[in-house]
Chain A
Amino acid sequence: MNLNPSIRLKRRISEGSIKGVLFLCAALSIFTTVGIIAVLFFETVEFFKEVSILDFLTDTQWTPLFVDKHFGILPLLSGTFLVAFIAMCVAMPLGVLSAIYLNEYASVRFRTAVKPLLEILAGVPTVVYGYFALLFVTPLLQKIVPGLSGFNALGPGIVMGIMIIPMISSLSEDAMSAVPRDLREGAYALGATRFQVAAKVVVPAALSGIMSSFVLAISRAIGETMIVTIASGQQPRLTINPLVPIETITAYIVQVSLGDTPAGSIEYKTIFAVGMTLFIFTLVLNIFSHWLKERFREEYK
Chain B
Amino acid sequence: MRAALILRNKRRDRIFKVVALLSAILGLVFLATLVIDLLYDGLGRINWSFLTSFPSRRPERAGILSAIVGTLYIMGLTALFGFPLGVGAGIYLEEYSRRKNWLTRLIEINIANLAGVPSIIYGLLGLGVFVRALNLERSLISGALTLALLVLPIIIIASREALKAIPFTIREASYALGATKWQTIFYQVLPAALPGILTGVILALSRAIGETAPLITIGALTYIAFLPESIFDPFTVLPIQVFNWVSRPQQAFAVNAAAAIIVLLAITLILNSVAIYLRYRFQRRLKW
Contact = CB atoms under 8 A, between A and B. Distances in A.
A touching B, CB within 8 angstroms: yes
B21 A101 contact: yes
Nearest to B9: A193
Contacts, number: 252
B28 A101 contact: no
Interface in B206-251: 206-207, 209-213, 216-217, 219, 222, 239, 242-243, 246-247
A87 B102 CA distance: 38
Interface in B87-135: 88-89, 91-93, 96-97, 106-107, 110-114, 116-125, 127-129, 132
Nearest to B182: A18
B9 A132 contact: no
23 contacts: A25-B85, A25-B89, A26-B107, A29-B111, A30-B106, A32-B110, A32-B125, A101-B20, A118-B24, A123-B268, A124-B34, A127-B264, A128-B265, A192-B9, A220-B116, A226-B243, A253-B120, A253-B123, A257-B217, A271-B217, A275-B120, A278-B118, A278-B121
Interface in B1-21: 6, 9-10, 12-13, 16-17, 19-21
Interface string A180-220: 00000000000111111011000000000000000010011
Contact of B246 (A19, A28, A230): A230
A43 B37 CA distance: 43
Contacts of B205: none
A222 B96 CA distance: 37
Contact of B23 (A18, A25, A94, A226): A94
Interface stretch (B47-55, B192-200, B254-262): B254-262
B124 A26 contact: no
Nearest to B222: A258
Interface in A77-120: 93-95, 97-98, 100-102, 105-106, 114, 117-118, 120
Interface of A: 11, 14-15, 18-19, 21-30, 32-33, 35-36, 38-40, 42-43, 93-95, 97-98, 100-102, 105-106, 114, 117-118, 120-121, 123-128, 130-132, 134-136, 162, 165-166, 169, 191-196, 198-199, 216, 219-220, 222-226, 229-230, 250, 253-254, 257-258, 263, 271-272, 275, 278-279, 282-283, 286, 290
Nearest to A130: B246
A135 to B, nearest CB: 6
Contact of A230 (B21, B89, B243): B243
A241 B22 CA distance: 29
A163 to B, nearest CB: 9
A27 B106 CA distance: 9
Contacts of A272: 124, 128
A283 B129 contact: no
B76 interface: no
Given A32-B152, A254-B120, 11 more contacts: A11-B180, A26-B89, A30-B106, A32-B114, A39-B125, A101-B21, A117-B27, A117-B31, A123-B268, A128-B265, A290-B112
B10 A286 contact: no
Contacts of B207: 123
B118 A98 contact: no
A195 B8 CA distance: 12
B210 A127 contact: yes
Contact of B24 (A29, A102, A193): A102
Contact of A135 (B96, B210, B239, B254): B254
B25 interface: yes
A25 B12 contact: no
Contacts of A134: 246
Which of B24, B125, B207 counts the most chain A CB atoms within 10 A?
B24
B30 interface: yes
Closest 4 CB pairs of A and B: A223-B118, A125-B210, A25-B88, A39-B128
Contacts of B170: none
A249 to B, nearest CB: 9
Contacts of B261: 127-128, 131
B10 A36 contact: no
Nearest to A164: B27
A51 to B, nearest CB: 18
Given A39-B124, A114-B24, A257 B110 contact: no
B89 A29 contact: yes
A195 B88 CA distance: 48
Nearest to A21: B88
B191 interface: no
A127 B118 contact: no
B262 to A, nearest CB: 10
A36 B125 contact: yes
Given A230-B247, A286-B113, A193 B10 contact: yes
A254 B216 contact: yes
B134 to A, nearest CB: 11
Which of A29, A33, A35 counts the most chain B CB atoms within 10 A?
A29
A124 B38 CA distance: 13
B110 A126 contact: no
B46 interface: no
A124 B35 CA distance: 11
Interface string B156-199: 10000000000000000000000011100000000000000000
B252 interface: no
